[in-house]
């Protein structure tokens, strides 16, 4: 009988680590050594998850103090750097959908350890229909699926829509990013949620999450939080 079939039947994982490819992977798809070496976002702004010095006497960054975002808090367990960036770009641009299960379970564990109160639903940042057709899937939805399952929270796939086709944020200067997203999203009014979590793969400038959070707040949602696997270290000017 086929050996792999036998092992799958009893639920063991003998696939190689997604990062080093040599050792046996653990429960999450990477080996314990690689997991230990991931760039943790250990000291972050409580509001936007931007890394701040451990010595900082406040837990909120200067930018959030000056101009607080529409969301209540952002959680991103890793810094967008090697080697986790390769897993994220693999998921986003190279159809490596198996990375979503790994990244989703790493994020779920971080949330289980750090969240005091769960939201009523999880909303992946939507893609514009034309970009969805081009890519064939939404990486934020692929990340949100295992997350919703692990945490037992309702997944709202169509509550938010991207109604304006915007230029990719990465093509723009930081100063133009907020303007690029003006009226980019629409949120349906129907279910009266009070607490919602928006899921994205990476928080870069934070403008995308903030634009969507703004729409939820306009629809009367009291508390919006942002969950992402990683936070890019860039400051909006
Ligand atoms: Zn490894
Ligand atoms: Zn901040």
Distance (angstroms) between ligand 1 centre and the Cα of 21 equals 6
Q: Which ligand is closest to the CA of 205, given by its number? A: 2
Residues 127 and 185 in one domain: yes
Angle at 141 between CA 139 and CA 142, to 5 degrees: 60
Across the range 149-178, mean pLDDT stands at 82
- Would the pLDDT of 9 be above 60? no
Residues 86 and 21 in one domain: no
Give percent of the chain with pLDDT exceeding 90. 63
**Sequence-ordered list of residues with C-beta below 8 angstroms from that of 64, at least 6 positions apart, any chain:** 45, 47, 48, 50
Distance (angstroms) between ligand 1 centre and the Cα of 79 equals 18
- Residue 170 has φ and ψ, to the nearest 5°, of -65, -20
- Would the pLDDT of 8 be above 50? no
Q: Answer whether 193's CB lies under 8 Å from 222's CB.
A: no
Residues 203-233 have pLDDT tens digits of: 998 999 999 999 999 999 999 999 999 999 8
Q: Which ligand is closest to the CA of 31, given by its number? A: 1
Among 88, 75, 60, residue whose Cα is nearest residue 118: 75
The C-alpha atoms of residue 5 and residue 222 are separated, in whole angstroms, by 49
Q: Which ligand is closest to the CA of 209, given by its number? A: 2
Domain total in the chain:
2
- 132: in domain: yes
Three state DSSP letters for 157-174 = CCCEEECCCCCCHHHCCH
Q: Answer whether 84's CB lies under 8 Å from 229's CB.
A: yes
Q: What is the pLDDT of residue 21?
A: 85
Q: Which ligand is closest to the CA of 87, given by its number? A: 1
Q: What is the pTM of this model?
A: 0.87
Distance (angstroms) between ligand 1 centre and the Cα of 53 equals 29
- 237: in domain: no
The C-alpha atoms of residue 188 and residue 92 are separated, in whole angstroms, by 26
Q: Answer whether 74's CB lies under 8 Å from 225's CB.
A: yes
Q: Which ligand is closest to the CA of 46, given by its number? A: 2
Residues 25 and 71 in one domain: no
Distance (angstroms) between ligand 2 centre and the Cα of 64 equals 4
Residues 36-48 have pLDDT tens digits of: 999 999 999 999 9
Residues 97 and 18 in one domain: no
Ion ligand 1 neighbours, Cβ < 5 Å = 17, 19-20, 31, 34
- Would the pLDDT of 152 be above 50? yes
Residues 27 and 108 in one domain: no
């Amino acid at each position: 009988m086929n050996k792999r079939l036998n092992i799958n039947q009893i639920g063991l994982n003998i696939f190689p680590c997604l990062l080093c490819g040599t050792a046996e992977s653990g429960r999450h798809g990477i080996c314990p050594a690689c997991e230990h070496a991931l760039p943790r976002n250990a000291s972050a702004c409580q509001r936007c998850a931007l890394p701040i010095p451990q010595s900082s006497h406040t837990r909120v960054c200067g930018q959030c103090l000056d101009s607080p975002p529409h969301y209540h808090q952002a959680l991103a367990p890793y810094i967008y750097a090697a080697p986790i960036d390769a897993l994220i770009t693999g998921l986003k641009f190279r159809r490596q959908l198996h990375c979503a299960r790994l990244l989703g379970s790493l994020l779920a564990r971080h949330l289980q350890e750090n969240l005091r109160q769960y939201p009523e639903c999880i909303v992946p940042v939507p893609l514009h229909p034309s970009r969805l057709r081009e890519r064939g899937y939404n990486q934020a939805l692929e990340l949100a699926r295992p997350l919703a399952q692990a945490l037992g929270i309702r997944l709202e796939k169509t509550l938010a829509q991207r109604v304006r086709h915007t230029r990719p944020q990465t093509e723009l200067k930081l100063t133009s990013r907020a303007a690029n997203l003006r009226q980019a999203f629409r949120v349906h009014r129907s279910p009266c949620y009070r607490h919602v979590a928006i899921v994205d793969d990476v928080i870069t400038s934070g403008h995308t999450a903030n634009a969507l959070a703004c729409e939820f707040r306009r629809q009367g949602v009291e508390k919006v939080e942002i969950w992402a696997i990683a936070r890019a270290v860039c400051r909006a000017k």
